[in-house]
Amino acid sequence: MNMKKIMFFIIIFCLVVGVWFFYSEIYTAEAQKVEKVSFQIKNGEDVSAMTKRLADEQVVRNAWLFRRYLIWKGIDRKIQQGDYEVDAPITIARVANTLLLPGVGERTITIIPGWDLRDIAEYFEQEGIASSTEFYDVVGLPAYNYKAAGQYAPQPFDDVLVLQDKSDYFGLEGYLSPDTFRVFKDASITDIVSKLVQHRDSQFTEEMYADIEASGRSVYEVITVASLLEREVRGEKNKKVVSDLFWRRYDLNWALQADSTVHYAVGKKGNVFTTKEDRDSLSPWNTYKYPGLPLGPISNPSFESIMAAMYPTPNDYWYFLTTPEGEVKYAKTLEEHNVNVNRYLR
């Protein structure tokens, strides 16, 4: 056997040993022979310091390898503070995967785009997080005109930038960002609402604020229109078209005539249609009865809807409807719209 073949086999042998070593260290080698290990991820702790500390605490065997594994899997960008538990075997892979799960003292909550305060209150009550009364004490009552009652809505977060132009006469509808969040199990309802509001605040960049100001709109108006888009139509394309339609009607002081606002005003669910009695409601959220925007948002819109409200697609339509199947039909004249109504809604 010549020297080249010997070197080739040595290299292959080293590679096999190296692969076996790393596989063993990550997937089979245990830091401790115990049934369960508890550990904590501290707030603001970087990955390097965290991996070294967990190695010192014998949660993992090798800090360097643990850190590289977290980076390789992309877990290093998803780690959140909290208390965690990992069951045997206590390997690097199992500890890393545990970091993707809610901590022992945490829980996951999910707010769906388009939910209004009533929906969130019902969800929190079902999850045992807070009663509807406790929730409304923080966020304010849905579809409630505090001005007419000679009151002010709760304002627990006055220092948040996104809330600066919000009226004191309606609650936090629209300002709770829909998403999936991890919260401490013992967190107060005020802390949880604060997290949702802060997330909404983080969605607005300096460029967006500048664009809103340049458009002559306000953040309140943008969120309100976005909340209508969320409940009226599906898909980014339709939202951008209807956004332009709404803004033009608003600028002309026309009634927006959005069924979703009437549903919100009267607390109606699960039906795209409104009755004459519904549309006769005196609520300031009734956009059939009153021109312009409703008193406040009618839902908590997605970021997609906010962007559609900010950056509409110019068009010549003045009317639209959404069929029971979710398809949007547009019209340029009232006559065309009435044809669509008779064809698709009756």
Residue 248 has a pLDDT of 97
Residues 65-89: pLDDT tens digits? 999 999 998 998 888 888 888 888 9
Residue 219 has a pLDDT of 97
Residue 29 has a pLDDT of 78
DSSP characters over 10-75: HHHHHHHHHHHHHHIIIII--S--SSEEEEEE-TT--HHHHHHHHHHTTSSS-HHHHHHHHHHHTG
Residue 112: DSSP 8-state: P
What residue segments make up the domains of the chain, in order of their start?
26-104, 108-203, 207-344
Say if CB 225 and CB 108 are below 8 A apart: no
Say if CB 318 and CB 246 are below 8 A apart: no
Residue 22 has a pLDDT of 64
pLDDT at position 3 over 70:
no
Q: 88 in helix, strand or coil?
A: coil
The pLDDT confidence band at residue 105, using thresholds 50, 70 and 90, is: confident
Mean pLDDT of 10-35: 71
pLDDT at position 276 over 90:
no
The pLDDT confidence band at residue 272, using thresholds 50, 70 and 90, is: low
Residues 32-76: pLDDT tens digits? 888 888 888 887 788 999 999 999 999 998 999 999 999 998 998
pLDDT at position 16 over 60:
no
Residue 85: DSSP 8-state: E
Place of tokens 């004490």: 137
Residue 153 has a pLDDT of 94
Measured on CA atoms in the order 206, 209, 211, 214, is the torsion positive or negative? Answer: negative
Say if CB 301 and CB 226 are below 8 A apart: yes
Q: Which fold has domain 26-104?
A: Dna Ligase; domain 1 (3.30.1490)
Mean pLDDT of 147-169: 92
Residue 4 has a pLDDT of 64
User: Looking at the whole model, is its pTM more than 0.85?
Assistant: no
Mean pLDDT of 312-334: 92
Residue 13 has a pLDDT of 60
For residue 59, give every residue at least 6 positions away whose Cβ sits within 8 Å of its Cβ, in sequence order, or none: 31, 32, 37, 39, 86, 90, 95
